[in-house]
Structure 1
Amino acid sequence: MEHFLNSLPKAELHMHLEGSLEPELMFELARRNNIELPYDTVDQIRAAYNFGNLQDFLDLYYQGAAVLQTEQDFYDLTWAYLKQCETQNVIHTEPFFDPQTHTARGIDIGTVIRGIDQALQHGREQLGISSRLILCFLRHLSEDDAALTLEQALPYRQHFVAVGLDSSEAGHPPAKFQRVFDKARSLGLLTVAHAGEEGPPEYIWQALDLLQVARIDHGVRASEDPALIERLVREQTPLTVCPLSNVRLRVFDKMSDHNVLELLQQGLRITINSDDPAYFGGYMGENFLALHQGLSLTRAQAIQLSRNAFDSAFVSDDEKAALQARLDNFVAHYRK
Structure 2
Amino acid sequence: MNLRDLQYIIAVAETRHFGKAAARCFVSQPTLSGQIKKLEEELGVAIFERSNRSVEITPVGHTILEHARLIIEQADVIQQLARAQQDPLAGPLRIGAIPTLSPYLMPLILRPLKTQHPQLRLVLSEEMTDTLLARLHHHEIDAALLATPVEDHDLESIALFDEPFWLAYPREHPFYNQDEISREDLDNTELLLLSEGHCLAQQTMDLCNLKARKDQGEMADLRAASLETLLQLVGAGFGSTLVPALAIGGSWTSGSGIVARKLDFAGASRRVSIVFRHSYPRRQALEALAEVIWAHLPNTVTPVHGTATPPQPA
TM-score, length basis structure 2: 0.27
| Bigger share in helix | 1
| Bigger share in strand | 2
Bigger Rg, structure 1 or 2: 2
**Higher RCO by CA contacts (8 Å cutoff, separation 6 or greater):** 2
